[in-house]
């Protein structure tokens, strides 16, 4: 399903969320309006490395970021593997892959770096320079 966020459309796999599309869209609108910091949706994570990275993403508090290397270290993996898993995140925004950044740059986001920057600004998170 498509959701609107900060003037952009993102595709999310609603089959991985135990909620109807109306509830999902409502929570995204509340997030965008600033009345919701966290999503209250039950998510089915993949049973693979992507699922492990997705779970790590959900542990990053609003207003904070982690580097690909930090997540890789926590999962005993490599930063590039984490980046690839972020790219496979089937429910972006709700599972906040935008909170994972390069060590000194804003890199990689399926919705484009403009949206990644907007989401981080919206949350008050530090934003590294773009390459």
104 near 65, Cβ under 8 Å? no
Name the region of 127 (left: φ>0; alpha: ψ -120 to 50; beta: rest).
Answer: beta
Radius of gyration of the chain (CA): 14
Given a contact cutoff of 8 angstroms between Cβ atoms, the answer to whether 5 and 115 are in contact is yes
What percentage of the chain's residues is helix, strand, coil (to nearest 5)? Answer: 45, 15, 45
- Among this protein's residues, is 86 annotated catalytic? no
Q: Which of 23, 7, 2 is CA-nearest to residue 92?
A: 2
Q: Are the CB atoms for 99 and 57 separated by under 8 Å?
A: yes
Name the catalytic one among 53, 97, 106, 125: 97
**Which residues carry out catalysis?**
97
């Amino acid at each position: 399903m498509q959701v609107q966020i900060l003037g952009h459309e993102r595709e999310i796999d609603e089959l991985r969320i135990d909620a109807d599309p109306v509830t999902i869209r409502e929570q995204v609108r509340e997030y965008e309006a600033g009345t919701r910091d966290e999503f209250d949706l039950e998510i089915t994570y993949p049973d693979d490395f992507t699922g492990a990275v997705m779970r790590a993403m959900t542990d990053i508090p609003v207003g904070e970021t982690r580097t690909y290397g930090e997540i890789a270290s926590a999962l005993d993996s490599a930063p590039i593997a984490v980046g690839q898993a972020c790219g496979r995140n089937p429910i972006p925004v709700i599972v906040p892959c935008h909170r994972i950044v390069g060590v000194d740059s804003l890199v990689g986001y399926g919705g484009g770096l403009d949206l990644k920057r907007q989401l981080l600004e919206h949350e008050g998170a530090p934003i590294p320079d773009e390459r």
